[in-house]
Amino acid sequence: MGAKSFIVRGKGNADSFCSCSHGAGRKISRSEAKRTFSLKDHREAVAGVECRVDEHLIDETPMAYKDIDAVIAAQSDLIEVVH
């Protein structure tokens, strides 16, 4: 959310049932994000990103998610980054 996107190709690793993460994954829960971050925090975090910004989406703020580069790196045995 608000970071970047990857196009990946699965390597067909049977140990992971030929699966991989479909996103970065949450670092904190939705309710914790709503308690922790303000609408101002969220607005600043998504500055320059085309998205809806309102109090109903604070739980989707980029700070609530893991670092996508670390998640991609952790799956190097599962995926090949295409783009």
Residue range 24-50, pLDDT digits in tens: 789 999 999 999 999 999 999 999 888
Q: Which residues are paired to 79 by β-bridges?
A: 10
Alpha-carbon distance 4 to 54, whole Å? 21
The domain of 71 spans 25-81
Q: Structure pTM? A: 0.77
| pLDDT tens per residue, range 53-80 | 999 999 999 999 999 899 999 999 999 9
Catalytic residue among 22, 42, 56, 83: 22
Domain count, the chain: 1
pLDDT confidence of residue 9 = 92
54 in a domain, yes or no? yes
Which two three-digit tokens encode residue 45?
């975090």
45 in a domain, yes or no? yes
Active site residue 22: yes
69 in a domain, yes or no? yes
pLDDT of 2 > 70? The answer is: no
Within 1-83, where are the H helices? Answer: 30-36, 39-45, 68-74
71 in a domain, yes or no? yes
Q: How confident is the model at residue 22 (pLDDT cuts 50, 70, 90)?
A: confident
Alpha-carbon distance 57 to 18, whole Å? 32
Alpha-carbon distance 7 to 23, whole Å? 11
